[in-house]
Amino acid sequence: MGETTSISRRQFVAGASGMVLAGSMGAAGEKVASKQDGQLALHGGKKAVQTLLPRRIRWGQPERERLEAMLGQGSLFFWKGPQTELLKERFRKVCPVKYAQTCSSGTAALHIAVAAAGVCPGDEVITSPITDIGTVIGILFQQAVPVFADLDPATYNLDPVSVERHITPKTKAIIAVHLLGNPCDLDALKAVADRHNLVLIEDCAQAWGARYRGRPIGSVGHIACFSLQDSKHVTCGDGGMVGSSDERFGPLLARFGDKGFDRIGRRDIDVFGTNYRMSEPQAAVAAAQLERLESIAARRAELGNLLTSSIATIPGIRTHRVHPQDRCVYWLYMFRIDPKRLCCDKSLFARALAAEGVPAWAGYIRGPLYTEPIFQEHSFFGGHWPVRESGLTTMDYAKVSCPEAEAIHQTAIRLGIHEHMSEQYVLEVAAAIKKVASHYAA
CATH number at 76 reads 3.40.640.10
Between 30 and 208, where is the model more confident?
A: 208
How many domains are contained in the chain?
A: 2
Nearest partner of 307 among 209, 428, 394, judged by Cα: 428
Instruction: Specify the pairing of strand 171-177 against strand 124-127.
Output: parallel
> Where residue 309 falls among pLDDT bands split at 50, 70, 90?
very high
Q: Tell me how far apart the alpha carbons of residues 202 and 27 are, in angstroms, rounded to a whole number.
A: 60
The reported pLDDT for the residue numbered 66 is 98
Averaged pLDDT, 2-21: 35
For the ranges 139-148, 151-160, 255-264, the lowest mean pLDDT is seen at: 255-264
* 48, 41 Cβ separation under 8 angstroms: yes
Q: Kindly report the pTM of this predicted structure.
A: 0.90
Domain assignment of residue 326, yes or no: no
The reported pLDDT for the residue numbered 368 is 98
Say whether both 85 and 192 belong to one domain.
yes
| pLDDT (tens digit per residue) in 184-212 | 999 999 999 999 999 999 999 999 999 99
Whether pLDDT at 13 is above 80: no
Distances (CA, A) of 270 to 107, 217, 245, 258, 266: 23, 32, 22, 12, 11
The reported pLDDT for the residue numbered 35 is 45
Say whether both 84 and 182 belong to one domain.
yes
Domain assignment of residue 398, yes or no: no
Whether pLDDT at 263 is above 70: yes
Averaged pLDDT, 222-236: 98
Contacts of 227 (CB under 8 A, 6+ apart): 105, 106, 107, 109, 134, 205, 206, 239, 240
Q: Tell me how far apart the alpha carbons of residues 91 and 102 are, in angstroms, rounded to a whole number.
A: 10
Say whether both 164 and 26 belong to one domain.
no
Say whether both 133 and 29 belong to one domain.
no
Which of 231, 262, 291 finishes a domain? 291
Contacts of 188 (CB under 8 A, 6+ apart): 160
Domain assignment of residue 113, yes or no: yes
Q: Considering just the CA atoms, what is the radius of gyration of the chain in Å?
A: 25
* 341, 442 Cβ separation under 8 angstroms: yes
* 382, 72 Cβ separation under 8 angstroms: no
Distances (CA, A) of 153 to 164, 398, 406, 424: 17, 23, 10, 29
Say whether both 107 and 19 belong to one domain.
no
Handedness of CA 121, 123, 124, 130 (dihedral sign): negative
Say whether both 8 and 148 belong to one domain.
no
Distances (CA, A) of 84 to 199, 279, 288, 291, 390: 27, 8, 11, 15, 42
Domain assignment of residue 24, yes or no: yes
> Where residue 310 falls among pLDDT bands split at 50, 70, 90?
very high
The reported pLDDT for the residue numbered 129 is 98
* 334, 349 Cβ separation under 8 angstroms: no
Q: Whole domain around residue 24: which residue ranges? A: 2-39
Question: Beta strands of 273-394 (E only): which ranges?
Answer: 317-318, 333-337, 360-362
